Amino acid sequence: MTPAERVAELRAQIAHHNDRYYTHDAPEISDIDYDLLVREVAQLEAEHPELLDVESPTQVVGAGSLNVAFSPVVHRVPMTSLDNAMDDAELSAWGDRIVRGLNGEPARFVCELKIDGLAMSLRYEGGRFVQAATRGDGSIGEDVTANVATIEVIPDSLAGTTVPSVLEVRGEVYLPLDAFERLKAAKEAENVQRVAAGRKPEPVPVNPRNAGAGSLRQKDPSVTAGRGLAFWSYQLGEVQGGPEFTSHHETLEYLRALGFPVNPEIRMVDDLQGVVEFCRHWQEHRHTLPYEIDGAVVKVDSLAQREVLGFTSRAPRWAIAFKFPPEERTTILRDIQVSVGRTGRTTPFAVLEPVFVGGSTVGMATLHNQDQVAAKDVRPGDTVVVRKAGDVIPEVVGPVLSLRPEGLPPWEFPTICPCPLRTELVRPEGEADTRCVEPACPFQRDQRIIYFASRGAMDIEGLGESTVFQLSDAGLVADAGDIYSLTRDQLLTLDKWGDTKADNLLAAIEGSKNRPLPKVLTALGCKGLGPSASDALARAFGTLDSIMNASEADLATTDGVGPTIAASIVRWYSQPANRELIEKLRAAGVEFGRVEVSRLQQNLAGKAVVVTGSLEGYTRESAEAAIKDRGGKSPGSVSAKTFAVVVGSDPGASKVTKATDLGIPMLDLAGFEHLLATGELPPTD
């Protein structure tokens, strides 16, 4: 293919994707894939200047045709897009261009979060809101006034005494994460009912940006009003009769004074190093926010310097968007398979065409359960959106329906366990999970052993998933008790095992015999019996035998246990195979009565402290243990009863949002250590 043919092909693809993104709110590729197409065009045009065209996507603001449901609006001041930087080197190169463009004159920068929403222009005349328009192609947008008027944070009239006769405010309409989750959950629940009734499921929103854009383009403004859209202002457009400004940060203060929401995380920095630090910080902490961002926007603060730097044909030279690594990509769903867990729960998962997303190459992703697959209507052969945020397990969020091959059949959940026993799968009435109910299922057996040896249980280093599979396939272990009968000679018969590896595993197994009782209880894998309930039972009963011989009523009275877990314990112990396992562990010398009693002051007694994110010097387990050692509780979720939330790096956004909504104090590392030392919240300034 010649360069001219490739450029023509790329331009056609970009035009198609512009139309899907801007007109239909239904993109077929991720932002990063779109950016790579534009970059390839730019590279070819740089190498072959004769191919440059004024209609090229490198020369215009990318947009498709306008939606006929909305009237066109001509922007009196064009709404340009921004050039992108993908890494520190490209950001530094932009900074160097700024220095050259200003002949060495120093510049200050305003750093803003790049909100993952929809660019919007708001027009006020005589202080009254009269029009809202999308960016469109930068010159002509769509009139969405009636819908934008329903957004609660956008003022109908302007406050203050210096209100211009005409004021255009630019910003981003976005859908907060909690509103997106409500919309998504409602659509998935509706789809479950549709599927049960034999009707076709409807598309589920795949991310807040698309859901927000779709909410904004509703024909009925009352639908938009119920979606919970919000808005951040970040720029002035046309202004007639307003005050004079010399800097961008002055315009932001002016917008705030007029009653417009201005993002609180905007920062002014003195040099490019400050810009880099801002970008790095928010790349690491992007999930602490109650809305999605996909990068940072950096602008020269001085308006006079902006005049000097000017514009290219499509973007200002004085601003750039620093794009974070993508957390969503599109790829092909090759197959849907099911895994079987230690309790027999079967979980569908996606086998994907490998794709780089969220910092790693992803080849498999979760699909949660049977109802989720049906609600999302993903099918093998689909092009799907895959999301991986930080350390979160990759997830298939939905199909790209416009790319679905014709005649692709819906996926049906299997009725037979994939294990060699081929037993029937059962979905109990009223439950979301389908289970293999055959206790001898080898998949369940292996997962029970893996769980027993895991960090939160007996913490046997070296006994991970691949090792357990190897031991199981060799017939050396049939349950967790067999771990303690392994010999050096047996391990040396395994492929790729030497003396050091065998000795290290045997030492780790021996060391696990002295784990405290809560760890042993957790390791047994009784349904519902997690670390918190195990700790409460150990403190209340003292030994494993006392717990296993207690009545259901006595167990249920233990704080944090209750009737459901109590019944589960009694059922578990009534099974002969489980009693046999306990006796194997006893014979091996596993400690059944080691309860660690804290000698620390119980200054957190009666207080629930939630930990989210990573804290320097603590693991999640040690932070929670520090709370419990002082008499407190450390539940996994935030509620009105929560005393405080300890927020480390990369915390759960939903926990931070809920704590904010409920007005619950949030503590950093220093505040946490003050709380541990005193039992009280740190003083506020």
CB 453 within 8 A of CB 477: no
The residues pairing with 317 across neighbouring beta strands, listed in sequence order, are none
CA distances (Å), 334 to each of 384, 452, 528, in order? 10, 33, 34
Stretch (H or E) spanning 357: strand 345-357
At residue 207, the 3 state secondary structure works out as coil
Q: How does strand 118-125 pair with strand 72-74?
A: unpaired
- Report CA-CA distances (Å) from 217 to 211, 233, 366, 662: 10, 20, 31, 32
DSSP labels, 501-531: HHHHHHHHHHHGGG--HHHHHHHTT-TT--H
Nearest to 334 by CA among 290, 382, 406, 294: 382
Phi-psi region of 198 (alpha: psi -120 to 50; beta: other; left: phi over 0): left
Q: Contact 206/385 with Cβ under 8 angstroms?
A: yes
CB-based contacts of 314, cutoff 8 Å, min separation 6 = 58, 59, 60, 61, 80, 81, 138
SS3 198: coil
Outline where 416-463 has alpha helix (H).
442-453
At 328, is the secondary structure helix, strand, or coil?
Answer: strand
Q: How far apart are CA 663 and CA 646, in angstroms?
A: 14
Q: Which two tokens stand for residue 352?
A: 């994907």
The verdict on whether 114 is a catalytic residue reads: yes
**Cα 666 from Cα 612, distance rounded (Å):** 10
- Strand (E) positions, 502-628? 608-612
Residues 236, 167: contact at Cβ < 8 Å?
yes
d(CA 81, CA 92): 20
Q: Specify the residue for token string 């018969």.
A: 493
Question: Which residues does the annotation mark as catalytic?
Answer: 114
